[in-house]
Chain A
Amino acid sequence: MNVNISLKELLSLEGLVTESPHVETIIQRTNETQPQNIKIFYGETYDEAGNTIDSMKYYLFAANLSDVLKTMGYDTDPVILVADTAACRNVSQNLQSRYMQLGAERTEFVEKVNRIYNCGLHIVKMSEYIDEPDFQSDVKKIIDLCESDPELMKMIEESIPPSKVDIEREKGFMYSFDEIATILGYDIKIGPPREDLYDKTAREIAKRLDRKQIMSIFLMPTFPVGLGWDYFFAHEDLEKYGITAYKGMSKRLQKYRILIGKTSPEYVDELIHNSFISTRLDIPNPILDIGIIVEMAKQRLKSKTDQIHLHKDFYNGKISPNDLKDYVSQGLREYVLNKLV
């Protein structure tokens, strides 16, 4: 892979990275970790809708980050976790096997992306390690720690959307405990900004258990495509955290998502061209978001990791909203949809 971007530039890519640790902090951690690999993590669940284009943002970014660090001379282990066991926790008993199957399908999809875009990712399913004694021992330690400390328990509760707290309480917050135990062993975690609450809790727990603390890199939230300004105006809740990137049915907006292999190219075009985009920087821009995924995909197909200028070009007025839509629509077909058929 021909890497033409520095770590600092990668972490400052406008329209892609919203928050990250200082480059010096990452370098210090990588130095401390050597000779072991620096472990990069992105984890996701899934739903019945299928594989979203939005997940690709995380896979491709994890690959780019890994390549940049490798160019700097560090060994890396970029892991994509398909949290099949966690996904099953959210569905009824009779859907368990269906959801395990969906987990296998998601894993196949990530493997395909990995192969086609030469990502060098290490794909792991939660079911592969959840019953291992070491992992279970970590989970037990975390549960014991949280149960003995109301402050930590409060942090766990606060990391869950208010509407789901009661359900999670009934399930003994196992989803959260598994998630925290999973990320304890990693150095860098990539995710959407709303995972900050999880990550903060994980760092606090890591501190108490004398483990290394995860560093978080947050990428731009995901927004639905094909919707007008009125939808965004009416859904204030969406503005800050968007929808769940990896779940096509997030907020019941599956009609407004691009699902790889499911959404027809014609409908993809329609969604893109019907999308509201604004030239205001403080307004979600789902088309630019997909455009950046396309740019990453295009670069990786050409064995490159480079700067992405789409954000700057759009907000500087070099590309009009309609031109951006055309550019993204064409690129999406050429570099993503046709490749992943």
Chain B
Amino acid sequence: MNSELLQQAMREYEEKLFLKEKEASYYPEKMRELGLKNIERFIKYHPNPSRLMKLGITYAHRDLEIVAESMANNKPWAVISGLNPSGPLHLGHKTIFDELLWLQEQGAEIFIPITNDESYVVDKTKSLSDARRIGYDSVIPSIIAMGFNPKLTHIFVDSDYTDIYNVAMDISKYITLNKALKVFGFDESEDNPGSLFYRSGVQIAHILLPQYMEFGGPKPTLVPVGIDQHPYILLSRDVAERKKFIPPAELTLKFLWGLDGKGKMSASREGSAIFLTDNPNEAVKKIKSSYTGGSALATYQREHGGVAEICPIYAIQQYHFDAEETNLYTRCTSGQILCGKCKEYAAENVRKYLEKFQSVLPEAKARTGEFLLNTSIRSILE
């Protein structure tokens, strides 16, 4: 074997192992730092916990106890999960929506704000209308296509559901500028007033909206988030207490690795995401050229195995398909399966999924009206 190639393979493997260690400590450290609780006890007691919980992808919570009481006793409770429509949904978003579907099965009333105002003020789209269009043309139909129950799902586009701005005004009285600056760390020379109002007003309004009188008043509310969104929850809990609402609970999910191996799957990094609207052949191509946890040298990988923990291809199969059933982790890390073959399986899974998903999109789009929220929030005006 060419020793230079071998040396390179060893270096690459060491780097991947280092990343694996970093990944392994990242979430537990964050959990401790933010005072979150592990999801294990919930899994232990819930008669039928979600697949993502059992896989450890949904891994932490705060105050889930309060939500559990409503969940178990058929009392009203809500889930809120917003979405920035700067582009179509991708497999990273699908993770959260899979969890939302499970939460809905447990009786949650689900609120999904489509935050085209955020897309605009933080420069993710050129105009409010661009993001609004993406919202209606792509994001909302994709959400509906996932199978939500219209009776328990309320979707709204911020710029069209303008009542949300009245709620944001109502809420903004409970937050000082000083606190908002501390929590979100605004850059005075870069950020605009709109982004300040969005983050500290509108976003908190989304979280607390289900507790307004029009939706039955104070009730346990759960916010499934990535760990980076924790500050919003903290601020909303603070406001909730002052408004005599129930402080929202938090459910934290791990990110899905992007195909470039450089962090979470994101629309803003080219080549990182598989969009749910991607042509299936295009998605297959993305998978074939993806970064992996394997080695360039097949012999080396057969001997040492792949590093599944940092591999986006493994993650896609674990988060969304059949990695558990096919014992993929063991086969990968023991070197029984190499990346080429693994990518073939993943590509086939993704192709099938996208074909099926996209086949129901037109019908889903036609049902948009069933899901749009139009309840007027008069209680703060009269």
Contacts and interface: CB of A to CB of B under 8 A. Distances in A.
Nearest to A229: B45
User: Which 3 pairs show the lowest CB-CB distances between chains A and B?
Assistant: A234-B65, A230-B72, A233-B45
Interface string A217-238: 0000000000011111110100
Interface residues of A, number: 13
Nearest to A321: B47
Interface of A: 228-234, 236, 276, 278, 280, 282-283
A282 B44 contact: yes
A276 B47 CA distance: 9
The majority secondary structure among interface residues of chain B is: helix
A156 to B, nearest CB: 32
Interface in B36-53: 41-42, 44-47
Residue among B44, B64, B71 having the largest count of chain A Cβ atoms under 10 Å: B44
A278 B41 contact: no
B3 interface: no
Contacts of A234: 65-66, 68-69
B73 interface: yes
B72 A236 contact: no
Given A278-B45, A283-B45, A233 B73 contact: no
Interface residues of B, number: 14
Contacts of A233: 41-42, 44-46, 64-65, 68
A228 B72 contact: yes
14 contacts: A228-B73, A229-B45, A231-B69, A233-B41, A233-B45, A233-B46, A234-B65, A234-B68, A234-B69, A236-B41, A276-B45, A280-B44, A283-B44, A283-B45
A277 to B, nearest CB: 10
Nearest to B45: A233
A170 B72 CA distance: 42
A231 B73 CA distance: 11
Nearest to A239: B41
Contacts of B71: 230
A30 B73 CA distance: 52
A79 to B, nearest CB: 39
A230 B42 CA distance: 9
A244 B322 CA distance: 46
Contacts of A280: 44
A229 B46 CA distance: 6
A236 B68 CA distance: 14
Contacts of A236: 41
A280 B44 CA distance: 8
A142 B65 CA distance: 44
Contacts of A229: 45-47, 68, 72
B155 to A, nearest CB: 29
A231 B42 CA distance: 11
Residue among B45, B47, B64, B73 having the largest count of chain A Cβ atoms under 10 Å: B45
Given A229-B68, A278-B45, A280-B44, 7 more contacts: A228-B72, A230-B68, A230-B69, A232-B45, A233-B45, A233-B46, A236-B41
A232 B64 CA distance: 13
